[in-house]
Chain A
Amino acid sequence: DGGITQSPKYLFRKEGQNVTLSCEQNLNHDAMYWYRQDPGQGLRLIYYSQIVNDFQKGDIAEGYSVSREKKESFPLTVTSAQKNPTAFYLCASSISGLKSEQYFGPGTRLTVT
């Protein structure tokens, strides 16, 4: 559980402001992922990265941006272009290759008013 961390746990922002969510892992995993969780919607993939300095859009990337400058870190920026940013955001990591088991962070609940 302690191998992947997210901060902060709760985040409040005013509409129109960009906000960056932190995700760090010390599991030496190559792949990292960002999901958004809304009630009754399951987990939806925002962005993923299989290797440092490379990332790909997921199913709902509009209004979000990411970077992967270090293997351990995969921050997510929720921009003002995201029309409905209030949600629970989960970061995950996995060993790349054939093994797909993903380990999740504790999540950040973002509220935008």
Chain B
Amino acid sequence: GENVEQHPSTLSVQEGDSAVIKCTYSDSASNYFPWYKQELGKRPQLIIDIRSNVGEKKDQRIAVTLNKTAKHFSLHITETQPEDSAVYFCAASKGGGSQGNLIFGKGTKLSVKP
């Protein structure tokens, strides 16, 4: 089955710097890659997602890139702010129905220092 590896497990940056989190997946049939942000004690919330028919997607300060050949995708956060501090999870799935089950990485704890 699918396996998703996420690195690093912890990341500390200075406010204003960029942060990059990387994930690799094992199943070449996976075609949907969401990123979730979970603040302490709260529910995970989708912040951006990408499907396999595009290589990059941006939304203000966050972007996701996908390399299907290498089977990895990355989250990029620019101009980090203290409110970006949270745990970020990547995930992969093959699409809808029973194949729509998300396989999650183990998470990256991002700390943005003012």
Contacts and interface: CB of A to CB of B under 8 A. Distances in A.
Interface of A: 1, 31, 33, 40-45, 48, 50, 56, 58, 90, 94, 96-107
Given A101-B46, A104-B44, A106-B43, A42 B98 contact: no
Q: List 10 tightest A-B contacts by C-beta distance, closest first.
A: A42-B106, A100-B100, A104-B43, A97-B96, A98-B96, A43-B104, A42-B104, A100-B32, A100-B93, A104-B44
A58 B104 CA distance: 13
Interface residues of B, number: 24
A101 B49 contact: yes
23 contacts: A40-B107, A42-B89, A42-B105, A43-B102, A48-B101, A56-B98, A58-B101, A90-B43, A94-B100, A96-B100, A97-B97, A97-B100, A99-B100, A100-B32, A100-B102, A101-B34, A101-B49, A102-B46, A104-B43, A104-B44, A106-B42, A106-B43, A107-B43
Given A33-B101, A103-B46, 16 more contacts: A40-B9, A42-B6, A42-B89, A42-B107, A45-B101, A48-B101, A50-B98, A97-B96, A100-B34, A100-B93, A100-B95, A101-B34, A101-B49, A102-B102, A104-B43, A105-B43
Consensus secondary structure, chain B interface = mixed
Contacts of A101: 34, 46, 49
B26 interface: no
